[in-house]
Amino acid sequence: MTIKGVVGVERTIHVRKPPAVIGGSGYLLPMTQYALFDTAIGWAGIAWGDQGLVGVHLPERDPETARRSFLRRFPEAAEAPVPPELDKTVEDIRALMRGEKPDLLDAPVDMSQTPEFHAKVYEIARAIPPGETLTYGEIAVKLGDKLLARDVGQALGKNPWPIVVPCHRVTAAGGKPGGFSARGGVNTKLKLLGIEGAQAAAQADLFA
């Protein structure tokens, strides 16, 4: 593109257009894709983009319920086969739901849009081994201020990657389970802890 400057001098500016979508009128944008898969306790799912996982869905009793839930969160997402780089993540989630103890620390999580404080909370939560727990207050202390316990709970309540970021392993003080924002609430949290053999699961009858 050639333009004239204010003193009449011509100069050339090189403009690089974004690649057009083949067969479409818009431009190519990063696409969120998702896949559902069966586990020992129902149909779970993952969603991903160019930089890794952008969401994980806890198991539902049937795939259609899981699919509807995913599309409420990611209405523009396209269903696709699990890419090879996420095969191990899917198998580790399945293993965890069978009562095995993979840590899922190598699952690629895209935190590029995650607030800094939330990201710090999630990194601490990811380091909690299956079958063990920390309290909101203990995570707050690790962050440097025990008064942050409520903020820790709020961050975990917005966790897009349950299981991979195991917010179910974070409990309230005094042996209480604390809240859980996923479908089923505290009962779902206790069921997951029970599968992992965590002592906190003794708080309730998991399969009532």
Q: For residue 70, what pLDDT band results from cuts at 50, 70 and 90?
A: confident
Q: Which of 25-29, 125-129, 160-164 has the lowest mean pLDDT?
A: 25-29
pLDDT surpassing 50 at residue 17:
no
CB contact burial 51-89 (16+ within 10 A = b; e otherwise): ebbbbbbbbbeeeeebbebbeeebeebeeeebeeebeeb
Which runs of E-coded beta strand occur in 6-64? 10-12, 33-39, 42-49, 52-60
Q: For residue 53, what pLDDT band results from cuts at 50, 70 and 90?
A: very high
pLDDT surpassing 60 at residue 23:
no
Distance CA 68, CA 156 (A): 23
Residue 125 phi/psi, 5-degree rounding, is -60, -35
Catalytic residue among 82, 134, 152, 167: 167
Catalytic site includes residue 51: no
Distance CA 128, CA 105 (A): 10
Q: For residue 103, what pLDDT band results from cuts at 50, 70 and 90?
A: very high
pLDDT surpassing 60 at residue 117:
yes
Higher per-residue confidence, 85 vs 184 = 85
Fold of 29-110: Double Stranded RNA Binding Domain (3.30.160)
Q: Which residue has the tokens 């523009």?
A: 76
Residue 92, amino acid: D
**pLDDT score for 30:** 60
Domain spans in the chain, listed from the N-terminal domain onward? 29-110, 113-208
Nearest to 32 by CA among 69, 76, 66: 76
pLDDT surpassing 60 at residue 136:
yes
Mean per-residue pLDDT of the chain: 84
Decide whether 29-110 matches 113-208 in CATH topology: no
Q: For residue 134, what pLDDT band results from cuts at 50, 70 and 90?
A: very high
Contact 150, 91 (CB under 8 A): no
Distance CA 155, CA 157 (A): 5
CATH placement of domain 113-208: 1.10.10.10
In this structure, what token pair is assigned to residue 70? 């995913």
